[in-house]
Amino acid sequence: MLTLMPNEMSCLPPEDEMYAALISMDSEYEGIFFAGVTSTGIFCRPSCGAKKPKKDNVEFYSSVRAALMAGYRPCKICRPLEPLGEVPGWLKDLLKEVQSDPSARFRERELIDRGIDPARLRRWFKKHHNMTFQGYLRSLRINQAFGRIRRGSDVTHAAFESGYDSLSGFGEGFKKATAFAPVQSPDRVVITVTRILSPMGPMFAAAVDEGICLLEFADRRMLETQFDRLQKHFRSQLLPGDHPHFDQLEKELGEYFRGERREFDIPLSIPGTDFQKQTWEALRTIPYGRTVSYGEQAKLMGNPGAVRAVARANGDNRIAIIIPCHRVIGSDGNLTGYGGGLWRKRKLLDLEQGGSPLA
């Protein structure tokens, strides 16, 4: 029969709900439960892609520790012991090389000689960056060249210093990636995007010179919409790469997840309508460790009749955690409407209200 461990029943969803989530590989339940399969002795994440067990062969646990204490082994497919979204071991050294020298080239034969399957590498980058590995490298080189031109380098030097062999190939690739010619770089903007690991799963961050313009969990359903809105606002393209704001962002997020930071100092760039900006500023006035309802937030803004509009604007917030829409709850005290998933909202509020650090 489907089994819940007695000391965990009060903090887990109904068993039918969890089994349905396991069968449908629902990532929104990540962090809420782990499933132990009695017939194999293995435990998995809710989103695991392994063959699904029968209902009678499943036990549910609220933590990795509880599953291990019950004698289950971690699944080799979904790797529940690893932080969600962590870069796999076979890829770490290669990524370090790419980060230290974005102009480096990696041919298929060289990858094979390193013991890396090019098809496996391509699949990982498509899943986590929505582009192939070679496409990722090209975008890094273009972003690097854009930065050099903005800092005063001429186009020729920027092209060759970024690993291009010809000016014509550089110009064509640059315009395809950015939608403008290299010589226009001093007057244009590129949105630099990177992937950041957090204790609650991978996040995407985007930055322009003014500040961070996006921080979202990688599995948020509105992520593509938010990317599109940013590109339209800045009349620019998203390119992977490094940005000075990312170092500060990662430092401050780490301090927050460890329970050492209550307010963020990182500069932000938050384009939106006047009402959206007013709503997001109101969110930043909600104290750490406190929650308000949508109605209370509307009153804070001096517009008590705009509850639905406030809820919509909260949903359009594209900077998670720093603009803390997770601190807004239903008027009945229940958790509602969070783009990153209610399980994350629950954990963020628990952290801020004196719970255990997340990192």
Which member of 44, 48, 78, 325 is catalytic? 325
End-to-end CA distance of the chain, in Å? 35
Among positive and negative, which fits the CA dihedral 118, 124, 125, 130?
A: positive
Burial of 162 (0-12, 13-18, 19+ CB in 10 A): buried
| Annotation marks residue 325 as catalytic | yes
The kind and range of the H/E element at 135 are helix 133-150
Taking each helix axis as running N to C, give the angle between helix 307-315 and helix 274-283, from 0 to 180 degrees, rounded to the nearest 10: 80
- Kindly report the CA angle at 169 between 165 and 170, in degrees rounded to 5? 80
The kind and range of the H/E element at 345 are helix 342-352
Residue with tokens 């630099």: 192
Q: Give the closest residue to 279 by CA, choosing from 245, 320, 316.
A: 316
Q: Give the closest residue to 116 by CA, choosing from 89, 139, 143, 140.
A: 89
**Which residue numbers are catalytic?**
325
